[in-house]
Structure formats: structure tokens, C-alpha cells
Amino acid sequence: MDAFAQQLVNGLTLGSLYALIAVGYTVVYGIIQLINFAHGEIFMIGAFGALSTWLVFFQGNTALWTLPIMIAGAVGASVLTAVGMERFAYRPLRNAPRLAPLITAIGISVFLQEAVRLFYGDIPGFPDAKQKVPFPQIDVVTGPAFNVAGVTIQRSTIFTVGALIICAAALFYFVSRTRTGRAMQAVSQDPDTARLMGINVDRIIVVAFVIGATLAAIAGVAQGLQVTNINFKMGFLAGLKAFTAAVLGGIGNIWGAVVGGLTLGIVESMAVQFVPGTFGGSPWKDVWAFAILILVLVFRPQGILGAKVVDRA
């Protein structure tokens, strides 16, 4: 029972990270129905933005009060990248065939990876971005783990799960209760009619990218605190897992992305511990994660909670 409970906690930690990225992915997809393969790189840039902020202003200081400023630096870097990506790469292709922005997203993903690798590689004294770069461990949110009823709970787990709960609740309130949120719902259903009703569709799409980038940046900080290091390739697989989580829960559904992310994390964690023989262990966790995706697409393509994206003509 202790082993099961421990893997459940580990799965919830991993799943919360996936869910944070997936919720941001869902917001963008729900508005413009774009499979943004570069979203994982926004997550990666957020982690490097937080690290850069710490190195420039607080190097050697791990006090808790530095964390909000690191998060602000992460959000700033991710939002600037995402808004620039939307403005110069995706907006000109908005009326192009769907294959064009998809290929562009893959190109942007590789471009951002290499840009980060080369940029940080040219800074004297900075650890090689091709390797694992140490991430600062902040007082209170990192440090000795808690032991509760035989289950080890890392402090970074509390930060990650708490960030998911706060961000998902705030986003749900924003989308369902604010004027901009209702405009986002209108654009997701029919952008042409929304434009006729006086909604600035371009502005709403930018807002969607800002929200997605903000959530990805927070996830990047959580990743650094959890695993104590970051690297320029960390966003690729994370982006695929986020897309998997979004589809698993129901694409376009905020709470579906949360459920999908948590489910994916728990499946990975349980597979590592309890699948016997050759097909068990950590090397197989990604196999089981994407096997779940295939099963859901075959037997329930609308996802666990159902998709909420209108199929446009």
C-alpha cells in the first residue's frame, strides 16, 4: 500500500506539470485550432527566463522572496516569445491551409531550441545549455521532504500541485466570468461572427497566446524546482505530453486538460512501478503514456470529459 501511495503522489506531481502545460495548450487550440508544436519550447524558455533572472539579480540568494520575481522573469520571456511567434509566424498563415501553420510550428520549435542553445553557449561562465544546467533551489519550496504516513512528499510537489489548482481555477473564472473570457468563447465558436459583433479577434488570439505562455512559464519554473536542472531540449517531449494530455481529457476543455494531465502522470508513474518484466521500468514510461493516447483516440476520440471545440467549415 505504501508503494502504491508513493507512486500515486509521484504521478500527481508529474501529472500536475503536464496539466499546467496542457491547459495553456488547450487555450490556444480552442481559439485558433492550431496544434502548436512550439508550445513546449515556450515552457523551456520560461525555465531559462527564470534562471536568467536569478543569475542577473539574485545569484547566490535562495530566499523565498526571489521566487515571485523569478516567475515574473519566466512569464516575461515566455510571453514575449509567444506573442512574437503569433504575430510574425502564425498570423500571416491564419487563412492558409492547415498544413502550413503545422509545418511552421515544427520549424519554430527547432528554431527556438537552437536559439537557446547558441545564445547561452556564447555567454562566458554560463553552463553549457547542451548539458543539464543547475536550477536554483529556493528556500521553503525546496529542501528536505515531508514524510506523511510512510509516503515521501517533496516540497516542490506542493508548489506544483498548488500552482495547477490556482492557475486552473483562475483561468476558469477568467473565461467564464469576464468580458474578455466571454469574447474568447465567442471567437472559439465562430471568429467571423465574433468580428461582426465588434470583437477584436486579433486581440483575443494574442490574449490566448499570453495565457498559454504564462501557464507554460510557471510550469517551467516548477520543472526546474522539481528536477533541479534544465536544458534546451526539455520542451520537446513535454510539449508532446501536453498535447497528449489535452487530447486525453478532451481538446478545448480546460478541466479536461487538467484531468488528462493528471491521468497521464499517474499512468506513467504506475507503469514504472507495477508493470512487470521487460515492459516495466522507467525506460517504458513514455511507451505506456502514448499507448493510452492511442486507446483513447480509438475508443473515445472526444476525450475523457469531451471536446469543446466547434468544428468549423
pLDDT in tens, 255-297: 889 999 999 999 888 887 777 767 767 778 888 888 888 888 8
CB 289 within 8 A of CB 267: yes
- 201-210 pLDDT per residue, tens: 999 999 999 9
Give a yes or no: residue 277 inside a domain.
no
Dihedral sign, Cα of residue 122, residue 125, residue 131, residue 134: negative
Give a yes or no: residue 126 inside a domain.
yes
Range of the domain at 145: 19-235
Give a yes or no: residue 261 inside a domain.
no
Give the pLDDT band (50/70/90) at residue 25. Answer: confident
Give a yes or no: residue 272 inside a domain.
no
Question: How many domains does one find in the chain?
Answer: 1
Which of 35-49, 77-91, 102-116, 285-299 is predicted with the least confidence, judged by mean pLDDT? 285-299
Give a yes or no: residue 253 inside a domain.
no
Give a yes or no: residue 244 inside a domain.
no
Separation CA 201–CA 229 (nearest Å): 39
pLDDT of residue 64 exceeding 90, the answer is yes
Give a yes or no: residue 174 inside a domain.
yes
Give a yes or no: residue 281 inside a domain.
no
Whether the model clears a pTM of 0.95, i.e. scores above it, the answer is: no
